[in-house]
Amino acid sequence: MIYKNKTMNEKDIHDILDQVQTDHLFMENRVCRVCGVEKSLLADFYKCRKDHTLRSSYSYECKECAKTRVLENYYNDSVGTCDICGSIDTKLKDNICKSCNRALKEFGNNIDTLQKAVLYLERNK
Ligand SMILES: [Zn+2]
Ligand SMILES: [Zn+2]
- Name the closest ligand to CA 85: 2
Last residue of a domain, one of 72, 95, 110: 72
Last residue of a domain, one of 52, 72, 92: 72
Residue 115 belongs to domain spanning: 79-123
Asked if 83 and 64 sit in the same domain, the reply is no
Q: Confirm if 57 and 48 have CB atoms less than 8 A apart.
A: yes
Q: Tell how far the Cα of 36 is from the centroid of ligand 1, in angstroms.
A: 6
CA distance 27 to 120: 72
Phi, psi for 40 (deg, rounded to 5): -70, 125
- Name the closest ligand to CA 46: 1
pLDDT tens, per residue, the chain with 125 residues: 555 555 667 777 676 666 566 777 778 899 999 999 999 998 999 988 888 788 889 999 999 999 888 877 655 567 889 999 999 988 888 888 889 989 999 999 999 999 999 999 999 98
Asked if 90 and 113 sit in the same domain, the reply is yes
Asked if 54 and 110 sit in the same domain, the reply is no
Last residue of a domain, one of 32, 52, 72: 72
Asked if 90 and 50 sit in the same domain, the reply is no
